[in-house]
């Protein structure tokens, strides 16, 4: 398995063309649909107890995640996993820490139905939209029907607008910004250690499932989504279980578990500085 991992890392480094790319500015495809999605995103009426909206867990101030080990869903129930960021999803191919989904719309449906998250009943949601004059009007103007697929489609369109542009690192990649020497050093280490083999592309992750740690003792580990590292400084605590509290610990843990390396505090700190330069701002064309 380790041989396979090294072969994978070697080949990714060999064939990757500019393995980290800036987040491009995207023109919103369908503003009307995204606008409805945005309203739904903040609306607790989609949940069973009418108290929890998407924004209860996916918060702006925490990079589209929250700052707790787990999320709190309907009726005070705790989520099974740590809340991941929902930014830059359009550059990712897999969704869900473990419950693999390759289709973002199906993931949204899953999340909404999850009894620890929203326990949504789509018949009730459709009735609610019909009963809300404002939403009903908007919906019927944009979509012909109010139904489950269209509710999900609106949320999907809104999520596709949540991209974080203009990070310090992207400005550096695009040639109009500078990085500090620590940040540059951190980026070099990130490449040299091989972090970039898994965390790459525009979102630095979100493309594959991997074992939790190729150098951990336990063998038959489940596969876990390699998450995006964009805005990661804001979304502590870390990992699918939310058990690691600081970014520095997360970096040291990764180096050991995935690459079999003990890295010094100083080098871990440099990688943290690099990761902090990945924080961007939402390209909000909706307000």
State yes or no: residue 250 binds ligand HEC (CB under 6 A). Answer: yes
State yes or no: residue 6 binds ligand HEC (CB under 6 A). Answer: no
What distances in angstroms separate CA 19 from CA 32, 171, 250, one per listed residue? 34, 16, 22
State yes or no: residue 135 binds ligand HEC (CB under 6 A). Answer: no
What distances in angstroms separate CA 35 from CA 19, 94, 264, one per listed residue? 33, 25, 47
Among residues 176 and 217, whose Cβ is nearest to ligand HEC? 217
Q: Which helix (H) or strand (E) holds 126?
A: helix 122-131
User: Which residue is it, tokens 């945005």?
Assistant: 38
| Strand partners for 78 | 72
Q: Is the previous residue joined to 28 through a cis bond, with omega within 30 degrees of 0? A: no
Binding residue for ligand HEC, selected from 69, 163, 179, 194, defined by CB under 6 A: 194
State yes or no: residue 238 binds ligand HEC (CB under 6 A). Answer: yes
Minimum distance from CB of 247 to ligand HEC (Å)? 6
Binding residue for ligand HEC, selected from 38, 84, 169, 280, defined by CB under 6 A: 84
State yes or no: residue 278 binds ligand HEC (CB under 6 A). Answer: no
- Say what angle helices 148-159 and 31-41 make with each other, to 10 degrees: 100
Window 38-77: residues binding ligand HEC (CB under 6 A): 46, 52, 54, 56-58, 71-73
CA 270 to CA 276: how far, in whole Å? 10
Among residues 168 and 199, whose Cβ is nearest to ligand HEC? 199
State yes or no: residue 87 binds ligand HEC (CB under 6 A). Answer: no
Closest CA to 73 of 100, 95, 97, 53: 53
- Our separate counts of H helices and E strands in the chain read 11, 4
CA 142 to CA 37: how far, in whole Å? 12
- Give the range of 21-29, 88-96, 141-149, 166-174 binding ligand HEC by CB under 6 A: 88-96
Binding residue for ligand HEC, selected from 33, 35, 48, 107, defined by CB under 6 A: 107
- Give the range of 17-25, 127-135, 140-148, 250-258 binding ligand HEC by CB under 6 A: 250-258
Minimum distance from CB of 34 to ligand HEC (Å)? 13
Among residues 47 and 170, whose Cβ is nearest to ligand HEC? 47
Closest CA to 21 of 167, 121, 137: 167
Query: 188 is written with which tokens?
Result: 């070099």
Q: Could you count the other beta carbons within 10 Å of the beta carbon of residue 287?
A: 5
Q: Which residues bind ligand HEC (CB under 6 A)?
A: 46, 52, 54, 56-58, 71-73, 79, 81, 83-84, 86, 89, 95-97, 99, 107-108, 111-112, 117-118, 155, 193-195, 197-199, 210, 212, 214, 224-227, 229, 232, 235, 238-240, 250-251, 254-255, 258-259, 271
């Amino acid at each position: 398995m380790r041989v396979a991992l090294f072969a994978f890392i070697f080949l990714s480094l060999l064939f990757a063309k500019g393995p980290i790319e800036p987040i491009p500015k995207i023109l919103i495809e369908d503003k009307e649909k995204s606008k409805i999605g945005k309203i739904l995103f903040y609306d607790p009426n989609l949940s069973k107890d009418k108290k929890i909206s998407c924004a209860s867990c996916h918060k702006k101030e925490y990079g589209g995640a929250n700052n707790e080990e787990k999320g709190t869903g309907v009726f005070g129930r705790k989520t099974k996993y740590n809340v991941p960021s929902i930014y830059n999803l359009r550059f990712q191919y897999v969704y869900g820490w473990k419950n693999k989904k390759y289709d973002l719309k199906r993931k949204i449906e899953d999340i909404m139905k999850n009894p620890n998250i929203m326990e949504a009943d789509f018949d009730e949601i459709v009735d609610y939209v019909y009963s809300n004059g404002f939403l009903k009007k908007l919906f019927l103007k944009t979509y012909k029907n109010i139904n489950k697929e269209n509710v999900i489609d609106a949320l999907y369109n809104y999520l596709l607008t949540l991209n974080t542009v203009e990070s310090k690192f992207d400005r550096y990649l695009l040639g109009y910004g500078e990085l500090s020497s620590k940040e540059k050093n951190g980026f070099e280490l990130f490449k040299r250690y091989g972090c970039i083999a898994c965390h790459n592309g525009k979102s630095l992750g979100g493309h594959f499932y991997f074992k939790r740690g190729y150098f951990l003792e336990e063998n038959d580990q489940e596969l876990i989504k390699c998450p995006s590292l964009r805005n990661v400084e804001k979304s502590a605590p870390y990992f699918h279980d939310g058990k690691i509290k600081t970014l520095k610990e997360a970096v040291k843990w990764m180096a050991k578990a995935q690459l079999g390396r003990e890295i010094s505090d100083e080098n871990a700190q440099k990688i943290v500085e690099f990761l902090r330069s990945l924080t961007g701002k939402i390209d909000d064309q909706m307000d």
